[in-house]
Structure 1
Amino acid sequence: MILEHAVLDVVAGQETDFEWAFGEARELISASPGFLGLELLRSFETPGRYLLLVRWESVEAHTVGFRQGPNYEQWSALLHKYYSPFPVVEHYASALSTSASVV
Protein backbone atom coordinates (compact mmCIF):
# COMPACT_ATOMS: atom_id res chain seq x y z
CA MET A 1 0.00 0.00 0.00
CA ILE A 2 1.13 3.54 -0.83
CA LEU A 3 0.01 6.65 1.04
CA GLU A 4 -0.42 9.86 -0.93
CA HIS A 5 0.13 12.96 1.24
CA ALA A 6 -0.94 16.48 0.23
CA VAL A 7 -1.18 19.62 2.35
CA LEU A 8 -4.02 21.69 0.89
CA ASP A 9 -4.09 25.41 1.64
CA VAL A 10 -7.55 26.68 0.69
CA VAL A 11 -8.29 30.30 -0.23
CA ALA A 12 -9.55 32.15 2.88
CA GLY A 13 -13.33 32.18 3.12
CA GLN A 14 -13.73 29.27 0.69
CA GLU A 15 -13.45 26.42 3.19
CA THR A 16 -17.16 25.52 3.24
CA ASP A 17 -17.37 25.52 -0.56
CA PHE A 18 -14.17 23.46 -0.76
CA GLU A 19 -15.51 20.84 1.65
CA TRP A 20 -18.74 20.59 -0.37
CA ALA A 21 -16.78 20.26 -3.63
CA PHE A 22 -14.52 17.64 -2.07
CA GLY A 23 -17.59 15.64 -1.10
CA GLU A 24 -18.56 15.61 -4.77
CA ALA A 25 -15.00 14.90 -5.96
CA ARG A 26 -14.45 11.91 -3.68
CA GLU A 27 -16.86 9.90 -5.83
CA LEU A 28 -14.55 10.51 -8.80
CA ILE A 29 -11.38 9.35 -7.07
CA SER A 30 -13.02 6.39 -5.35
CA ALA A 31 -14.03 4.97 -8.74
CA SER A 32 -10.38 4.79 -9.81
CA PRO A 33 -8.75 1.32 -10.00
CA GLY A 34 -6.22 0.89 -7.21
CA PHE A 35 -7.94 3.37 -4.88
CA LEU A 36 -8.12 2.00 -1.32
CA GLY A 37 -9.50 4.91 0.69
CA LEU A 38 -8.94 8.50 1.76
CA GLU A 39 -9.11 10.86 4.69
CA LEU A 40 -9.40 14.66 4.59
CA LEU A 41 -8.30 16.30 7.84
CA ARG A 42 -8.81 19.95 8.86
CA SER A 43 -5.94 21.68 10.69
CA PHE A 44 -6.49 22.93 14.24
CA GLU A 45 -3.55 25.35 14.09
CA THR A 46 -3.85 26.80 10.59
CA PRO A 47 -7.27 27.95 9.37
CA GLY A 48 -7.93 26.89 5.79
CA ARG A 49 -5.31 24.11 5.82
CA TYR A 50 -6.22 20.49 5.18
CA LEU A 51 -4.25 17.27 5.04
CA LEU A 52 -5.33 14.82 2.36
CA LEU A 53 -4.25 11.21 2.83
CA VAL A 54 -5.13 8.77 0.05
CA ARG A 55 -4.33 5.06 0.14
CA TRP A 56 -3.43 3.46 -3.20
CA GLU A 57 -2.36 -0.02 -4.25
CA SER A 58 0.66 1.55 -6.01
CA VAL A 59 2.13 4.93 -7.01
CA GLU A 60 1.09 4.17 -10.59
CA ALA A 61 -2.54 3.70 -9.53
CA HIS A 62 -2.46 7.39 -8.60
CA THR A 63 -0.06 8.94 -11.11
CA VAL A 64 -1.21 6.98 -14.16
CA GLY A 65 -4.54 5.35 -13.36
CA PHE A 66 -6.17 8.38 -11.73
CA ARG A 67 -4.26 11.41 -13.01
CA GLN A 68 -4.37 10.17 -16.59
CA GLY A 69 -7.82 8.61 -16.23
CA PRO A 70 -11.25 9.83 -17.31
CA ASN A 71 -12.25 11.41 -13.97
CA TYR A 72 -9.21 13.61 -13.31
CA GLU A 73 -10.36 16.54 -15.47
CA GLN A 74 -13.61 16.80 -13.51
CA TRP A 75 -11.72 16.38 -10.19
CA SER A 76 -9.44 19.27 -11.20
CA ALA A 77 -12.37 21.48 -12.21
CA LEU A 78 -14.06 20.89 -8.85
CA LEU A 79 -11.05 21.41 -6.57
CA HIS A 80 -8.03 23.16 -8.07
CA LYS A 81 -9.61 26.63 -7.93
CA TYR A 82 -9.60 26.48 -4.11
CA TYR A 83 -5.83 25.93 -3.67
CA SER A 84 -3.40 28.75 -2.95
CA PRO A 85 -0.65 27.78 -3.42
CA PHE A 86 -1.04 24.61 -5.43
CA PRO A 87 -0.19 21.64 -3.17
CA VAL A 88 2.90 19.47 -3.28
CA VAL A 89 1.93 15.80 -3.44
CA GLU A 90 4.22 13.03 -2.17
CA HIS A 91 3.89 9.27 -1.88
CA TYR A 92 4.96 7.24 1.15
CA ALA A 93 5.43 3.57 2.01
CA SER A 94 5.40 2.26 5.57
CA ALA A 95 8.74 2.16 7.35
CA LEU A 96 7.40 1.39 10.83
CA SER A 97 3.93 0.95 12.26
CA THR A 98 2.40 0.45 15.69
CA SER A 99 -1.04 0.56 17.25
CA ALA A 100 -2.31 1.01 20.77
CA SER A 101 -2.85 -2.29 22.50
CA VAL A 102 -6.28 -3.09 23.84
CA VAL A 103 -6.32 -4.57 27.34
Structure 2
Amino acid sequence: MRPLPSVLGVKLSADLRARIAAAARDEGVSDSAWLRQCALDRLGVESAVDAASGPRPRIPPAELEALSGVVREIGALHGPASLGKADEVLEGLDRVRAVLIPLCVGLARSA
Protein backbone atom coordinates (compact mmCIF):
# COMPACT_ATOMS: atom_id res chain seq x y z
CA MET A 1 0.00 0.00 0.00
CA ARG A 2 1.27 3.45 -0.89
CA PRO A 3 1.70 5.90 2.02
CA LEU A 4 -0.48 8.53 0.30
CA PRO A 5 -3.09 6.63 -1.71
CA SER A 6 -5.47 9.57 -2.21
CA VAL A 7 -5.25 12.22 -4.92
CA LEU A 8 -7.23 15.46 -4.94
CA GLY A 9 -7.71 17.10 -8.32
CA VAL A 10 -7.97 20.87 -7.96
CA LYS A 11 -8.59 23.27 -10.82
CA LEU A 12 -6.51 26.45 -10.56
CA SER A 13 -6.14 29.62 -12.57
CA ALA A 14 -2.88 29.98 -14.45
CA ASP A 15 -1.85 32.82 -12.12
CA LEU A 16 -2.46 30.84 -8.92
CA ARG A 17 -0.73 27.78 -10.40
CA ALA A 18 2.32 29.91 -11.28
CA ARG A 19 2.42 31.44 -7.79
CA ILE A 20 2.25 28.02 -6.14
CA ALA A 21 5.02 26.74 -8.41
CA ALA A 22 7.21 29.77 -7.58
CA ALA A 23 6.63 29.42 -3.82
CA ALA A 24 7.39 25.71 -3.94
CA ARG A 25 10.53 26.30 -6.01
CA ASP A 26 11.70 28.98 -3.53
CA GLU A 27 11.35 26.43 -0.71
CA GLY A 28 12.99 23.67 -2.73
CA VAL A 29 9.98 21.34 -2.69
CA SER A 30 7.46 20.03 -5.17
CA ASP A 31 4.17 21.82 -5.74
CA SER A 32 2.30 18.93 -4.11
CA ALA A 33 4.56 18.95 -1.05
CA TRP A 34 4.13 22.71 -0.69
CA LEU A 35 0.33 22.49 -0.91
CA ARG A 36 0.25 19.52 1.48
CA GLN A 37 2.31 21.43 4.05
CA CYS A 38 0.07 24.51 3.67
CA ALA A 39 -2.99 22.35 4.33
CA LEU A 40 -1.38 20.76 7.41
CA ASP A 41 -0.36 24.16 8.76
CA ARG A 42 -3.74 25.77 8.07
CA LEU A 43 -5.70 22.90 9.65
CA GLY A 44 -3.31 22.60 12.59
CA VAL A 45 -2.93 18.91 11.85
CA GLU A 46 0.11 16.77 12.49
CA SER A 47 0.44 13.79 10.19
CA ALA A 48 3.69 11.85 10.09
CA VAL A 49 2.72 10.23 6.79
CA ASP A 50 1.93 13.53 5.09
CA ALA A 51 4.89 15.38 6.59
CA ALA A 52 7.36 12.61 5.72
CA SER A 53 6.22 12.54 2.14
CA GLY A 54 6.28 16.31 1.93
CA PRO A 55 9.22 18.68 1.84
CA ARG A 56 12.49 17.04 0.99
CA PRO A 57 15.77 18.74 1.72
CA ARG A 58 17.42 20.03 -1.41
CA ILE A 59 21.10 20.74 -1.82
CA PRO A 60 21.61 24.31 -3.04
CA PRO A 61 23.43 24.51 -6.40
CA ALA A 62 26.58 26.09 -4.92
CA GLU A 63 26.86 23.32 -2.32
CA LEU A 64 26.20 20.64 -4.94
CA GLU A 65 28.97 22.11 -7.07
CA ALA A 66 31.34 22.11 -4.07
CA LEU A 67 30.49 18.48 -3.31
CA SER A 68 31.07 17.51 -6.93
CA GLY A 69 34.46 19.18 -6.75
CA VAL A 70 35.55 17.23 -3.69
CA VAL A 71 34.38 13.96 -5.24
CA ARG A 72 36.62 14.75 -8.24
CA GLU A 73 39.44 15.64 -5.84
CA ILE A 74 39.08 12.31 -4.04
CA GLY A 75 39.22 10.50 -7.39
CA ALA A 76 42.32 12.42 -8.40
CA LEU A 77 44.07 11.42 -5.16
CA HIS A 78 44.13 7.77 -6.22
CA GLY A 79 47.15 8.37 -8.46
CA PRO A 80 49.36 10.03 -5.82
CA ALA A 81 48.22 7.47 -3.22
CA SER A 82 49.19 4.55 -5.45
CA LEU A 83 52.61 6.14 -6.00
CA GLY A 84 53.17 6.58 -2.27
CA LYS A 85 53.11 10.40 -2.41
CA ALA A 86 51.79 10.85 1.12
CA ASP A 87 52.37 14.61 1.26
CA GLU A 88 50.35 15.19 -1.91
CA VAL A 89 47.56 12.91 -0.66
CA LEU A 90 47.42 14.67 2.72
CA GLU A 91 47.26 18.09 1.04
CA GLY A 92 44.37 16.86 -1.12
CA LEU A 93 42.56 15.43 1.91
CA ASP A 94 42.97 18.76 3.69
CA ARG A 95 41.28 20.48 0.72
CA VAL A 96 38.46 17.91 0.81
CA ARG A 97 37.99 18.35 4.57
CA ALA A 98 37.92 22.14 4.18
CA VAL A 99 34.84 21.77 1.97
CA LEU A 100 33.08 18.77 3.51
CA ILE A 101 33.16 19.73 7.17
CA PRO A 102 31.43 23.13 6.81
CA LEU A 103 28.85 21.63 4.44
CA CYS A 104 28.10 18.71 6.77
CA VAL A 105 27.82 21.00 9.80
CA GLY A 106 25.42 23.19 7.83
CA LEU A 107 23.33 20.17 6.84
CA ALA A 108 23.12 19.06 10.47
CA ARG A 109 21.81 22.49 11.49
CA SER A 110 19.10 22.49 8.82
CA ALA A 111 17.85 18.98 9.68
In the superposition, the TM-score normalised over structure 1's length comes to: 0.32
Which structure is higher in helix share? Answer: 2
Which structure is higher in strand share? Answer: 1
Q: Which has the larger radius of gyration?
A: 2
Higher RCO (CA 8 Å, separation ≥ 6 residues): 1
In the superposition, the TM-score normalised over structure 2's length comes to: 0.30
